[in-house]
Structure 1
Amino acid sequence: MQSRRNIDRVVDQLETLGKRKDIAGVSQTINDYVRAIGFERYTYHVVRPPAGKRVPFYLSSYPDAWVEHYVGNNYVNSDAVIDRAACGLLPFDWQSVATPGGGKNSVQKRIFNEAGEFGIHGGASVPIHGPGGSLAILNVASDSNAEDFRKNWSRHRHDLQVFAMYAHEVVLRELYPQDGANLPHLSPRERECLLWTSKGKTAAEIAAILNISQETVVTYLKQSCAKLDVFSKTHAVVKAVCFGLIVP
């Protein structure tokens, strides 16, 4: 069960993110949040930009020397973390790809070993998938021992998933501004279903509130996901809030 303090903290940071008007401000908010919940470093990486957009994008509080080493060795094409994120939707601890049986090749093993030499000993990732095969990842890393890291990751992973989606949408908003004419159009019922979803209601509960069938609620949520170019109702809520289509 999430503590009230955890929920309040992520809500505060989402509100701060929504007010940011530049990439530097977004980077600072991400850094402030991940440090507040016990992770020393982060990277946000648009690995595959949305179709028709410019080259990959990167924000980081990792040591500059490690970033230069990683980029200079073209590790982005061999990183086991990116491989795992590309084929899954759920947040994951790097231990799941860094242990025997994780399917690493020699270059991937070297990446993990060398990261440790630069002070990056453990981490976890939140994949963010979009239309047309686009992919972004929020990574968090820590100097804590493995057991402390696992406990902290378990405590905050779900909040981080929502935060990562929101940060991603804010970055896209700043990199690729849309005018009002290009915003998705949601019907009143679609907005209502997303609004109640944002308040933690299930499809069955929303159906009872709106006096419609559960199947109809599911249909509205699926239509909203399609219009917003996302794969989950959580991401649909985040994007709708970011666009100002709903106000939780």
Structure 2
Amino acid sequence: MKTEPENLARIIETVADAPTVYDALIALQEIYNVSFITYHLTATIISELDAPFVQTTYGPEWIARYLLKRYVHIDPVVQQGFLRQLPFDWREFDITPETAEFFDDARQYGVEGYGYSIPITDKAGRRAIFSINAARPTTSWDKFVADNRAEWIEVAYRVHLKAIHEIHGGKDPVPGLSTRERECLSWVARGKDHKDIALILGISEHTARSYLKSGRTKLGCATISSAAVQAVKFRLINV
């Protein structure tokens, strides 16, 4: 019998070897014996591709219905999921008449009420949600989630990395900046120099310059000001 780490390694390899994110989701759906799996990236951060990226194993009839009814504005997984930091069970939602009607409609297309979602925030600040939907399992749903939750979190992030590479042709265009690098560049974007930043953050001028230089280098920019502009473009900082 395989040990849990070996099993997780096999699943991660399956995700990596799948031709596309969609193929990875299909494989995961079979591995975990669930009804549907969805991956939803809120934005890609790169100009013309800066739009939501969604891959799902839901049937085409439900996808068409979802789009036609504009359910994205009602769906609590989307509406609340991108605001949350921790994984959540769909049973946590406060059911309003509107969401009750949404879930009733979804059931007509095979979408059951048991679901678990994992919010993802990567080093570039991108937000995504990985969701699993299942009919009532043969064993307890709570036990099913407890047995697989830690594994799903790791798998969700691997799917996210695969999506970023798929969208951008195999290379992530957004560098990972440290918290301090982001802070320093955000103050540059507000018109502050390294002396001001050192005073604001309570660090030495030398340290402030070092963070600005490393952030500029990671962003591939010739000047600090252009690095700040690039960081804003990539949504690494807010101004």
TM class by shorter-chain length? 0.5 to 0.7
Q: Does residue 109 in structure 1 map to residue 100 in structure 2?
A: yes
Q: Does residue 77 in structure 1 map to residue 73 in structure 2?
A: yes
Q: What TM-score do the two structures reach when normalised by structure 2?
A: 0.64
Q: Distance in 2 between matches of 1:179 and 1:58?
A: 19
Residue 153 of structure 1 is aligned with which of 138, 145, 157? 145
- For the residue of structure 1 that corresponds to 2:42, the secondary structure is strand
Gaps of 5+ in 1: 187-222, 228-248
- Deviation string for 1:114-133 (max 9, x for gaps)? 11222211211111124676
Q: Does residue 127 in structure 1 map to residue 119 in structure 2?
A: yes
* Identity %, equivalent residues: 20
Instruction: Rate the CA distance shift 1:145–1:50 in 2: closer, same or farther, 3 A.
Output: same
Letter in 2 for 1:175: I
Map of 2:11 onto structure 1: 13
- 1:4 offset after TM fit, Å? 5.8
Map of 1:35 onto structure 2: 30
- Deviation string for 1:174-216 (max 9, x for gaps)? 2113669976699xxxxxxxxxxxxxxxxxxxxxxxxxxxxxx
Are the counterparts in 1 of residues 86 and 119 from structure 2 also a CA contact under 8 Å?
yes
Map of 2:162 onto structure 1: 170
Residue 67 of structure 1 is aligned with which of 56, 63, 66? 63
Instruction: Rate the CA distance shift 1:144–1:180 in 2: closer, same or farther, 3 A.
Output: closer
- For the residue of structure 1 that corresponds to 2:115, the secondary structure is strand
Instruction: Rate the CA distance shift 1:106–1:47 in 2: closer, same or farther, 3 A.
Output: farther
Q: Distance in 2 between matches of 1:96 and 1:180?
A: 34
Q: Distance in 2 between matches of 1:92 and 1:35?
A: 22
Are the counterparts in 2 of residues 128 and 137 from structure 1 also a CA contact under 8 Å?
yes
- 1:73 offset after TM fit, Å? 0.8
Map of 1:87 onto structure 2: 83
Q: Distance in 2 between matches of 1:43 and 1:89?
A: 18
Letter in 2 for 1:117: Q
Q: Which has the larger radius of gyration?
A: 2
Q: Distance in 1 between matches of 2:138 and 2:84?
A: 23
Q: Distance in 2 between matches of 1:5 and 1:132?
A: 33
Q: Distance in 1 between matches of 2:152 and 2:25?
A: 10
How many pairs does the alignment contain? Answer: 179
- 1:173 offset after TM fit, Å? 0.9
- 1:9 offset after TM fit, Å? 2.3
Are the counterparts in 2 of residues 49 and 135 from structure 1 also a CA contact under 8 Å?
no
- Deviation string for 1:101-156 (max 9, x for gaps)? x2x43322221221122221121111112467632111111122596322211211
- 1:93 offset after TM fit, Å? 1.2
Letter in 2 for 1:13: I
Gaps of 5+ in 2: 179-213, 219-239
- For the residue of structure 1 that corresponds to 2:77, the secondary structure is helix
Instruction: Rate the CA distance shift 1:155–1:78 in 2: closer, same or farther, 3 A.
Output: same
